[in-house]
Chains A and B, each alone.
Chain A
Amino acid sequence: MNRQRTSLFRANRLKTVVVVTRDVVLTSIIDRFLKDSYSIVVFTKIEHSLDYIYNSLPDLLIIDISLDDVVTIGIINDLKSDPIFGQVPVLAVLSDDFIIPKWDYLFIEDYVRRSYIETDIIAKADLCIKRAERVIEINPLTRLPGNITIIKQIQRRLETGEIFAIAYADLDYFKPFNDKYGFGRGDEVLKMLGRLILNTVKHKQPNSFVGHIGGDDFIYIMGPDLVESATQEILDNFDRIIPTFYDAEDRAKGNIESIDREGIKKTFPIMGISIGIATNKIASYSHYGEVTERASEMKKYAKYTGGSCFRIDKRQYASKN
């Protein structure tokens, strides 16, 4: 089947720009200037463009915004908070009397004033796309932030004295899965896991943080009061979804078989997920290393128990620093 050929390798095709505006004049100006370099798709309302965006991941979104259009701004912000679709750069066209808000309220990459459209649109569009292409430290599989951001996130919370919990998750029996089914399918599992953790955690607590260290190692940071229920949800949902990544016979048996280097047949159960949690609710930490070490210890405990489970650190601890 040709599924995998719908690849994301884009160098040779014309980049797509989605334009959202009701202004016919604006549409024709943008079209006139950009059509030679880009494939333009126009919508009159952002709601209509979403379906297209979610199915084809365009290279740039140009949108006409007025300050009182709270709904549109909300939709843009939601779009930008998704790891995959948030990568689409957004270039806003602002009317000349649009007062620039605090950027916390409008997640766009750049803007151009209506009266400067003709002079600036090509440069701005090119710049937005180029900027998005520069590698930011995100995991290529899940598009989640990596180590540098993770460390910053932990350190910041320690400095401000915020009470938080950090959970460290990885998979049990991931290697045998990769050995049997190949790295391609292993990657699928990781992509799924990334989305699963992200959505579950963010749904529980919008201002949480989810990071991907690498391989099957994930981290999330949220309030200590919600972390256990969020974690249980992740475990439950993972156990429900992961069987679909196995072939039917293995799924029915509940395990996979392989031969190790000595020629001995070994069976491995269906993957589970182990999560270790540490929190500064009762302990005090001053360095990110201490926190991650605790969480890592807890994760080791969790691994001793078969199947998906989590362990949370209930001991008091005082930082040596």
Chain B
Amino acid sequence: MSRVAALLRRDLARLLLGGRGGGALLPVLFFLSVAMLYPFAVGPDAPLLARTGGGVIWVAALLAAILPLDRLVEPDIELGMFDQWALRGISEELVIAVRVIAHWLSFGPPLMLAALPAAALLGLDGRTLGIVEVGLLAGTPGLAALGVTVAALTAGLRGGAALSGLLVIPMAVPVLIFGAGSLGTGGTSGLALTAAASLVLIAIAPFAGGAAVRAARG
């Protein structure tokens, strides 16, 4: 258990606090700037903003989740960290599972907090904001798992960062459809399906990511 704690502590120091990479601050600022730009682009039409704002928050959250992908897995392969972990009997699956948790902690809760001012900028009512927040809680863990999986798959490829963004977007469509769709129906079934899509991605991530890291090692 102390190994998991040590791994999680290092991951959080790198992803949440950041250092040179900017940590959790950069995705949050990106997310807020999209929410701020949208009213400028479509004009001060309050009913239109209120109707479409929830969906904009979801798209902004998805794009913000893509930002840190290039520093999720590849630096550790280049540094030889995965080799040293393997020699100590720490499996790639465990490392990837811990990294999913750390990646989610570094962008999920911060985005849920940032959704409050974003909702104010877009003029969302309280009920819509509630659905957005619960939807983000259900959907962002899946986005985190997907991000780590794709980062592991593209590690070591030329142009891997751009490629991973392109790969994440189509695979995030189920989470986006159910998450943003729950705004339209207002029901809990959309939120439940968002959580279900998230769980599938979380269940796959350690094994797909671990296999990808081993393959990249060659």
- The answer on A and B forming one complex is no
